[in-house]
Amino acid sequence: MFRKDFVWGCASSAFQIEGAAHEGGKGDSIWDRFAAGEGNILNGDKPEPACDFYHRYPTDIALMKQVGIQAYRLSLSWPRILPDGIGRVNEEGLRFYDQVIDELLRNGIEPYITLYHWDYPQALQEMGGWLNEKSGDWFAEYAAVVSEHFSDRVRYFITFNEPQCFVGLSAIHQVHAPGIRLEQADIFRMIHHVLKAHGKAVIALRQHAKRAIQVGYAPTCGMAYPNTDSPADIKAARKALFTCPEEMDNWTWNVPWFSDPVFLGKYPEDGLRKYAQYLPVITDEDMELISQPLDFMGQNIYNGYAIAAGENGEPVYVERDAGHPQTGNMWPVTPKCFRWGLRFLYERYKLPIYVTENGICCKDVLQCDGRIHDSERIDFLNRYLYAMKQAMEDGADIRGYFEWTFTDNFEWNYGYRDRFGLVYVDFKTQRRYLKDSAYWYRDVIRSNGGSIRQPKEILFFHPEYKQMVWGGNRMRDVYGYDIPGDNTGEAWVISAHPHGDCVVNGGTYDGQKLSELWTNEPELFGHFPSDRFPMLVKVLDARYDLSIQVHPDDRYASEHENGSYGKTECWYILDCPEDATIILGHHARTREELCRMIDEKQWSDLIAEVPIRKGDFVQLDPGTVHVIKSNILILETEQNSDITYRVYDYDRLVDGKPRELHLDKCKDVITVPAKQDMVRSTSPTETVQELVSCDYYTVWKYVVNREMVIGQPHPFMIFSVVEGEGTVNGLAIQRGDHFLVPHGFGDMIFEGDMVLIASSPTRE
């Protein structure tokens, strides 16, 4: 799945880890100034010494090696190298980074250098900063020094980190340095200068390189992803991701304004229209400069937002669910942003992608065993990396992943509140502790992604209800189902049939149809060898008798019903009156006799009636004449088929017309003579009973008293709680619940007092 040369890295930035702001001849950055300002940093936290990386880099690099980190994306502090931003080069600053780079290389870790991760030289800020016409030349001067000095050892360079943030969070929101509010026209001018500076830096990096180097860019943004996998939602999400915001209050938070110029050589048309009143003069030469060819595209991605297709297919933002998963700093957890965002970016910009940042802030604590068990971080990273793998399978060319970040560090205006590291830092003692996630990431790296797991959880579905002339409303009374009418004959509770394709209700796969899951996530079903989901489970409520009917087998259905499956089915009687009966089989001894009795409508002579009780079980092979009679509630497990041949429907009318009969087909498929003794009773107490095992499925009844462990060695399992309530692996379940347990789920621990009917498909 992952390329052999896939790069597993970590990312950081100078200001957030180094400390030593006034050591080694470093000049001030705007962040040094801003952080010193009253009230600018939460809790008055100070950016020094942060992780004291300036002095402790050998320890941290040794830890990186221990974790198996292959590449380290670090930023250089511009004012550490050029204390005034331009002019005099600080040799001591260069020496510090030489040592870091050499140490990385000695440990087999490839450095990726970001030129600018927000710590702008204060001296240049005082000359107007990015608003100064010359700011591009200043940046190019710095880029030239860096390339000249480091490119003998460093091969990968990134110009800017997240221009969306360093512009918007400062000039619009004033929560980042320098914290100066700008008018919109100035913000557009600033960005234009930043983009030109990017172009100039790319040229300078290449011009001064000692050997071939790879140059990229690392913008960010939330990623739009489709609300469902429908083509309309996918199209709408793609459109949303590349549309410029209309509202100006947070408009820099977008992809196209910052990436189209760089990768496509033009500002997005819709933005040019929407923002016309604010735009600076933009020339063709500017655009040529900005769109210097790049070797790769970096993208920092932390989360995204769901988009559905509204009227005319236009994108509509989907509100987040109440209580949706969030990180320690309240960012939403949305792995789909990787699956779709990466794919959309690759489609549009067509450059190899490195995820240059992704990670999660957790409320990590040093626990009483002296370790940090950050299972939320592991779960987050696993889900995102699995989604990244899906994007790669969909064709996105992704070359590397840089987890943010190695050590907990100074998280800008939030100070030390937000811990993003794989390594816990006790900021009081500067002691480091590898969190559980560091060991987990080590395994991911060692296995080149092989240890990343598909999210597997118990799947619930929205039932598909069917109104029937014979249906009733008991499912509402007995199970509390939200049935749509008082003639609800059937609830297809687990079905991928086109006549009722159940949608996942909640969890990772929320909103997806079972048929889509079957196609897109075959691993959930143990790669079961079938072109369609093989089973169908329904609850039937017969207020009145069903028609006298029969089902074909596979061979007959495939030939006469357009490739459909035949229908082998079985019933578990959920409830019925004391004296209930069903029709099962017939009395004809030969096919001639059968045909004659049908033609002469000798129903009462033809059909065989048998008594039935709650808890009985019936296996019906194709060709079995049957009728479910009134007041019986049944759980039906069957092949994924909807083919029924009616012999007689009591001359009932539906919408003023009798329902169609299929006499010829019935005469073809009814088994003669009929099979006997198809009803068996089941035990109310025996804990494990195999009710049937046929070519298509195996069905069990489990009686749970207090506790039962059920393994899951099957392609998948379907469970129905038919009595009682309790929990499965801590999840509360009750009578009337149906769920699917995916392949490889592991043991299920049921606790409570419950009766379960379970099934799994039979392999060929």
CB 739 within 8 A of CB 718: yes
Write the secondary structure of 568-627 as one string of H (helix), E (strand) and C (coil). Answer: CEEEEEEECCCCCEEEEEECCCCHHHHHHHHHCCCHHHHEEEEECCCCCEEEECCCCCEE
Residues 177-236 close enough to bind ligand FCB by CB under 6 A: 220
Residue among 2 and 160 whose Cβ is closer to ligand FCB: 160
Q: How far apart are CA 121 and CA 32, in angstroms?
A: 10
Q: How far is the CB of 359 from ligand FCB (least distance, A)?
A: 7
Give the torsion sign (CA, 76, 81, 83, 85).
Answer: negative
Task: List phi, psi (to 5°) of 273.
Answer: -75, -50
Structure tokens at 507: 């969890």
* Site stretch for ligand FCB (CB under 6 A), options 143-151, 157-165, 255-263, 536-544: 157-165
Active site residue 162: yes
Longest dimension (CA), the chain: 108
Structure tokens at 266: 């033009």
Q: How far is the CB of 12 from ligand FCB (least distance, A)?
A: 8
Q: How far is the CB of 380 from ligand FCB (least distance, A)?
A: 13
Q: How far apart are CA 375 and CA 427, in angstroms?
A: 22
Residue among 16 and 125 whose Cβ is closer to ligand FCB: 16
Interface with ligand FCB includes 165 (CB under 6 A)? yes
Interface with ligand FCB includes 160 (CB under 6 A)? no
CB 657 within 8 A of CB 650: no
Q: How far is the CB of 13 from ligand FCB (least distance, A)?
A: 5
* Site stretch for ligand FCB (CB under 6 A), options 161-169, 303-311, 389-397, 522-530: 161-169
Interface with ligand FCB includes 545 (CB under 6 A)? no
Interface with ligand FCB includes 161 (CB under 6 A)? yes
Interface with ligand FCB includes 300 (CB under 6 A)? yes
* Site stretch for ligand FCB (CB under 6 A), options 76-84, 173-181, 404-412, 498-506: 404-412
Q: How far is the CB of 158 from ligand FCB (least distance, A)?
A: 11
Residue among 115 and 627 whose Cβ is closer to ligand FCB: 115
Q: Give the count of residues interacting with ligand FCB (CB under 6 A).
A: 12
CB 455 within 8 A of CB 745: no
CA angle 732, 734, 740 (to 5 degrees): 75
Interface with ligand FCB includes 401 (CB under 6 A)? no
Q: How far apart are CA 159 and CA 166, in angstroms?
A: 13
Interface with ligand FCB includes 420 (CB under 6 A)? yes
Q: How far is the CB of 363 from ligand FCB (least distance, A)?
A: 15
Q: How far apart are CA 473 and CA 481, in angstroms?
A: 9
Structure tokens at 463: 């039932």
Rounded to 10 degrees, what is the CA torsion of 710, 713, 714, 719? Answer: 10
Contact pick of 52, 60, 411, 569 for ligand FCB (by CB under 6 A): 411
Interface with ligand FCB includes 150 (CB under 6 A)? no
Q: How far apart are CA 645 and CA 549, in angstroms?
A: 5
Q: How far is the CB of 262 from ligand FCB (least distance, A)?
A: 17
From the candidates 162, 411, 490, 638, which is the catalytic residue? 162
- Report DSSP letters for 67-132, one per residue: HT--EEEEE--HHHHSTTSSS---HHHHHHHHHHHHHHHHTT-EEEEEEESS--BHHHHTTTGGGS
Task: List phi, psi (to 5°) of 718.
Answer: -115, 135
* Site stretch for ligand FCB (CB under 6 A), options 126-134, 159-167, 544-552, 609-617: 159-167
* Site stretch for ligand FCB (CB under 6 A), options 158-166, 265-273, 522-530, 559-567: 158-166
Active site residue 357: yes
Residue among 191 and 580 whose Cβ is closer to ligand FCB: 191
Tally Cβ neighbours within 10 Å of residue 576: 23
CB 311 within 8 A of CB 280: no
Residue among 359 and 566 whose Cβ is closer to ligand FCB: 359
Residue among 75 and 147 whose Cβ is closer to ligand FCB: 75
Q: Which H/E stretch holds residue 635? A: strand 632-639
Structure tokens at 763: 């392999």
Q: How far is the CB of 205 from ligand FCB (least distance, A)?
A: 20
Q: How far apart are CA 270 and CA 242, in angstroms?
A: 10
Residues 333-362 close enough to bind ligand FCB by CB under 6 A: 357
Q: What is the DSSP letter of 78?
A: H
**Partners of residue 467 on adjacent β-strands:** 488
Residue among 257 and 420 whose Cβ is closer to ligand FCB: 420
Residue among 404 and 440 whose Cβ is closer to ligand FCB: 404
Residue among 166 and 509 whose Cβ is closer to ligand FCB: 166
Q: How far apart are CA 575 and CA 634, in angstroms?
A: 7
Q: How far, CA to CA in Å, does 625 sit from each of 552, 582, 672?
A: 11, 11, 10
Q: Are strands 535-542 and 581-586 parallel, antiparallel or unpaired?
A: unpaired
Residue among 357 and 379 whose Cβ is closer to ligand FCB: 357
Q: How far is the CB of 81 from ligand FCB (least distance, A)?
A: 19
From the candidates 18, 357, 636, 638, which is the catalytic residue? 357
Residues 674-733 close enough to bind ligand FCB by CB under 6 A: none
Q: Which of 336, 319, 437 is CA-nearest to residue 383?
A: 336
Q: How far is the CB of 378 from ligand FCB (least distance, A)?
A: 18
Q: Are strands 581-586 and 626-627 parallel, antiparallel or unpaired?
A: antiparallel
Contact pick of 2, 7, 8, 13 for ligand FCB (by CB under 6 A): 13
Interface with ligand FCB includes 162 (CB under 6 A)? yes
Residues that bind ligand FCB (CB under 6 A): 13, 16, 161-162, 165, 220, 300, 357, 404, 411-412, 420
Residues marked active site are found at 162, 357
